[in-house]
Amino acid sequence: MNGYSGLRQEELDLLPSAEDVRTYSERGWYLSEKLLTDAEADALTAASERYYAGQRDRKLPVEPEKWADWKPGDGEIQRNNDYVHYQDDTIAEILRKPIIGAVAARLAQAEAIRIFQATLIYKPPVAEERSNIVAWHFDKYFWPTCTSENMLTAFIPFHDCTEEAGTITMVSGSHRWARRHGADRGSGAPEDVAREYLLNGDAQRNGVTDLEKVPVHIPKGHMTFHHCLLYHGSGKNRSAEPRRAISLHLQDETNRYQPHHLSDGRQQPYKHDVLVRRTADGTPDYTDPDFLPQVWPVAAD
């Protein structure tokens, strides 16, 4: 395949086919071939345990406002930890594996792919814990400072990930909805943890009467990719083991910073706007190689 000369033949065989790309465009998500070896998946588990115990290869120079940073004192809730691709070298090396970026580029039909954010996730096997439910949402809603609407996310479990374990559930085709809610950020009413009213409201606005919700069984070493406008969420972990994963948000080469203001006129930044370097005109640079490294094509040595 043209443009993939940096991959070995066995990696080329793992790339999405033309039909896969067409299907991704139609339904908004894709289940990959086995992109990680069992050893790499196990290395992510081991690295995550070291991370939870406090090990950092690098620390953020400044802590962004409202970033996810679970600590042991926070209790046995769902753990979310941002910027693991910056703070842990083992995790960073695996997430930068060229085949992951190449698959993302092929699905997005992009020339280049950079990391935008990476969040380590641990969903404990406590079915009654409310934090075990990830409400329906689409990622672009939380990225108003991004110009691109072609961004995508790789959901990377460290093990076989089933519906019982609370795997990711996709609302097929929802990335093509033109009309979307303008609700305030955050959760809905306490009795509506899943925010079904937001999903159903947007479906009605777009004339959709039959939602296709697909809980994706992801074998170990495989991962899903979903479009930044696709509605998705996850249910409770009803298994006996924790669900471990990384949500790897990716940006195409067209993405740049744009200012975003709330209805009251206040500036709405993204959390790493305080971390990245500045462009010549003083705005956050979303091509900063330290925090938002390019993963495809692989840079020449």
Find all residues with CB under 8 Å of 137, minimum gap 6, and list them. 195, 198, 231, 232, 233
pLDDT of residue 207: 95
Rounded to whole angstroms, the Cα distance separating 131 from 221 reads 26
CA pair distance 229, 137, nearest whole angstrom: 9
Q: How many helices (H) and strands (E) does the chain have?
A: 7, 11
What is the per-residue pLDDT across 60-80, written as a single tens digit (0 to 9) for each? 999 998 899 999 999 889 999
pTM of the predicted model, to two decimals? 0.94
pLDDT digit string (tens) for 136-154? 999 998 898 999 999 999 9
Q: Which pLDDT belongs to residue 188?
A: 42
Mean pLDDT taken over the chain? 92
What pLDDT sits at residue 15? 98
Higher-confidence position of 269 and 252 = 252
Tokens of 159: 């093990």
Residue 233 near residue 134 (C-beta atoms within 8 A): yes
Look up residue 7 and give its two tokens: 């991959």
- CA torsion 270→117→76→129, rounded to 10°? 70
- Residue 262 in 3-state DSSP? coil
Per-residue model confidence (pLDDT) at position 301: 47
Q: How far is CA 260 from CA 47, 187, 206, in A?
A: 36, 21, 25
| Span 9-296 CATH architecture | Sandwich (2.60)
Least confident of 47-56, 71-80, 175-184, 255-264: 175-184
Q: Where are the beta strands (DSSP E) in the chain?
A: 29-31, 79-82, 113-123, 134-137, 152-157, 168-171, 213-215, 224-227, 232-234, 243-252, 294-296
Tokens of 255: 């993405």
The token pair that represents 192 in the structure block: 């509506």
pLDDT-based confidence at residue 184 (cuts at 50, 70, 90): very low
Q: Are 246 and 91 in contact (CB under 8 A)?
A: yes
Backbone angles phi, psi at 114, to 5 degrees: -120, 150
Separation of alpha carbons 278 and 283, rounded Å: 5
89-98 core/surface letters (b: 16 or more CB in 10 A; e: else):
ebbbebbbbb
Q: Report pLDDT digits (tens) over 199-244.
A: 999 999 999 999 999 999 999 999 999 999 999 999 999 999 999 9
Place 300 in a pLDDT band, splitting at 50, 70 and 90: low
Convert the pLDDT of each residue in 2-18 to its tens digit. 578 789 999 999 999 99
Domain ranges, ordered by start, for the chain: 9-296
